[in-house]
Amino acid sequence: MMPVVQAGPRAGAPPAGLEGDHAVAWFAERQHGVVARPQLLACGITRAGIDHRSRAGRLHRVHRGVYAVGHGLLTFERSAMAGVLAMSPDALISHLTAARLWAILPAGTHVPDSGEPIDVTVVGRNPGCHPGIRRHRSAVLGPRDLRWIGPIPVTSPVRTVLDVAAAGQISFVERMLAEALRARLTSEAEVRRTLAGSPGHAGLRTLGRVLRIGPAFDRSVAERLLVELLRRAGIPRPRTNARAADFEVDALWPDLRVVVEFDSFTFHGDRIAFRRDRRKLARLQAAGYRVVPVLWEDLRDAPAAVVANIATVLAVAREGLRR
């Protein structure tokens, strides 16, 4: 699901005249149900009042100086918001936590329901350690690096990929970038600008390499995108990961004997792979299948042309059955 993005400040201050628990509720409604101690004090709640509400179960400590209001159940968004409030006013959710918020984690990435540390980046100074928070420091976080998902400040999609590239395996970073490009959260041009404007960043080498060989081809991403494009065009849905002539193919219309095979340099950039795929193509054609090769780059950048080509091949195959 595409995250709901808004640009704007943190919660700020409650309206004039709103005090006590009503003011606390105002903050909680705007911060996924969590508040920071300075906000409680600004609402007129004394330190003794905070302690009393904690004992009564009205406030639940999440981190030092951060409380969940009403109940202690922590959703992912609530945990992320609490992580930001625990650190510093300029803190941002980053790295893998940001990738999860942006929904650009590669398909199949294990995401635990709870207990996973929250990644938070701060500028310059050391804000101290908090259990459950994975702290990162950055010399510079400019306006281009900041986005908002609801009330949560988060690194931009491209900065998120760059940060993960500092420690991530190249295949993981490839697939993450592919997800971000598919969702139109960034572009190759923006990635190039970010690389040029981030000298010394630990992720430069890995992300630069990914960009040189081209954004990753991920079959699960390509499959979802193709199925959605075909649905919008009114083309019958194919079987995916189906069998044809003893091969697994990416998409198949069995009655029409039409096959779609995804292609990318990432998977076909060596001689062995090239020969294997040519043999597969020859066997499929010998068995009477019409094979439509689809480049990942075309699926991503020229989807209308891909759909039109598939529609034409399907029409020709359908006409052939009538003869």
Confidence of residue 267 (pLDDT cuts 50, 70, 90): very low
Using the predicted structure, report yes or no on whether residue 323 has a pLDDT greater than 90: no
Give the model confidence (pLDDT) of 199-237 as tens digits. Answer: 889 999 999 888 876 655 557 778 888 999 999 999 999
Q: What's the pLDDT score for residue 209?
A: 85
Confidence of residue 277 (pLDDT cuts 50, 70, 90): confident
Cα of 286 vs its chain's centroid, Å = 41
Q: What's the pLDDT score for residue 304?
A: 94
Q: What's the pLDDT score for residue 272?
A: 55
Cβ neighbour number for residue 305 with a 10 Å cutoff: 11
Asked if residue 11 lies in contact with residue 30, where contact means CB atoms within 8 angstroms, the answer is: yes
Q: What's the pLDDT score for residue 216?
A: 53
Asked if residue 119 lies in contact with residue 95, where contact means CB atoms within 8 angstroms, the answer is: yes
Residue range 73-86: average pLDDT?
Answer: 91
Residue spans of the domains in the chain: they are 219-322
Interatomic CA distance for residues 220 and 237, integer angstroms: 16
Question: Helix 219-232 vs helix 303-322: angle between axes, to the nearest 10 degrees?
Answer: 70
Percentages helix, strand, coil for the chain, rounded to the nearest 5?
Answer: 45, 20, 35
Which neighbouring-strand residues pair with 147? Answer: 154
Q: Which residues are within 8 A (CB) of 226 and not within 5 positions of it... i.e. 6 or more apart?
A: 251, 260, 262, 294, 299, 306
Residue range 48-55: average pLDDT?
Answer: 93
Interatomic CA distance for residues 210 and 214, integer angstroms: 6
Residues of the chain with pLDDT > 90, as a percent, come to: 50
More confident of the two residues 221 and 267: 221
Q: What's the pLDDT score for residue 145?
A: 92
Highest-confidence range of 67-81, 219-233, 248-262, by mean pLDDT? 248-262
pTM, 2 dp: 0.65
Give the model confidence (pLDDT) of 140-196 as tens digits. Answer: 788 899 999 999 999 999 999 999 999 878 878 888 888 888 788 998 889 999 999
Q: What's the pLDDT score for residue 3?
A: 54
Interatomic CA distance for residues 147 and 145, integer angstroms: 7
Six token digits for residue 297 = 């780059």
- The CATH number of domain 219-322, selected from 3.40.50.2300, 3.30.590.10, 3.40.960.10, 3.40.50.300: 3.40.960.10
DSSP state of 122: E
The total number of residues written for the chain in this structure: 323
Q: What's the pLDDT score for residue 51?
A: 92
Using the predicted structure, report yes or no on whether residue 11 has a pLDDT greater than 70: no
**CA torsion sign, 95 to 96 to 101 to 104?**
positive
Cβ-in-10-Å burial (0-12, 13-18, 19+) of 219 comes to middle
